Amino acid sequence: ALDADAFGLEGEARESTVMQMQFVLWRLEAQQDWSRDALFAALKNLAEAMDIKPKTLFAPLFVALSGEKVAYSIPDSMAILGPDMTRARLRTAIEVCGGVSKKAAKRLEKTYADLNL
C-alpha cells in the first residue's frame, strides 16, 4: 500500500508536492486527449507555467502512479492506466501525503487559476 514515506518528503517539501499533484489532477480533469504525446505536452506546459522543471513535476508522479520512485515514463503510465485510474491514484497519493484542507484548496484554486493554462 502507498504511504507518505514512499515519497520521502517532510514539511515544506510535502506541501509543495501535494500542490504539484493537485495541479496535475486538475490539469488532467480537463484533459480530453489521453494519448502519450498529449499527456506529455499537458504536463510540460503545467511545469513551465509553474516555473519548475518537468522532472521536478514528474518525480512524485512516479510514486503516485506506480508506488515506486522509478517506473515507465509518466505519460506512458498515464496512457496505460487510463484517465479514471490515473486520477484515482493521484487522489490517493494526495490524501496519503496529508491531503488538502478546504482553506488550502481555495488558495490552491486561486494559484492554479493564475497559471492561465
What does the pLDDT look like over 68-103, one tens digit per residue?
A: 887 789 999 999 999 999 999 999 999 999 999 999
Q: Give the model's pLDDT for residue 11.
A: 74
Predicted TM-score (pTM) of this structure = 0.92
Going by pLDDT thresholds of 50, 70 and 90, the confidence category of residue 14 is: confident
Distance CA 7, CA 108 (A): 21
What does the pLDDT look like over 22-49, one tens digit per residue?
A: 999 999 999 999 999 999 999 999 999 9
What fold characterizes domain 4-108? Arc Repressor Mutant, subunit A (1.10.10)
Whether 10 shows a pLDDT value over 80: the answer reads: no
C-alpha cell at 73: 515514463
- 500500500: which residue's cell? 1
* Cα atoms in the Cβ-side hemisphere of radius 13 Å centred on 2: 22
Distance CA 29, CA 84 (A): 10
- Map out the domains of the chain as residue ranges: 4-108
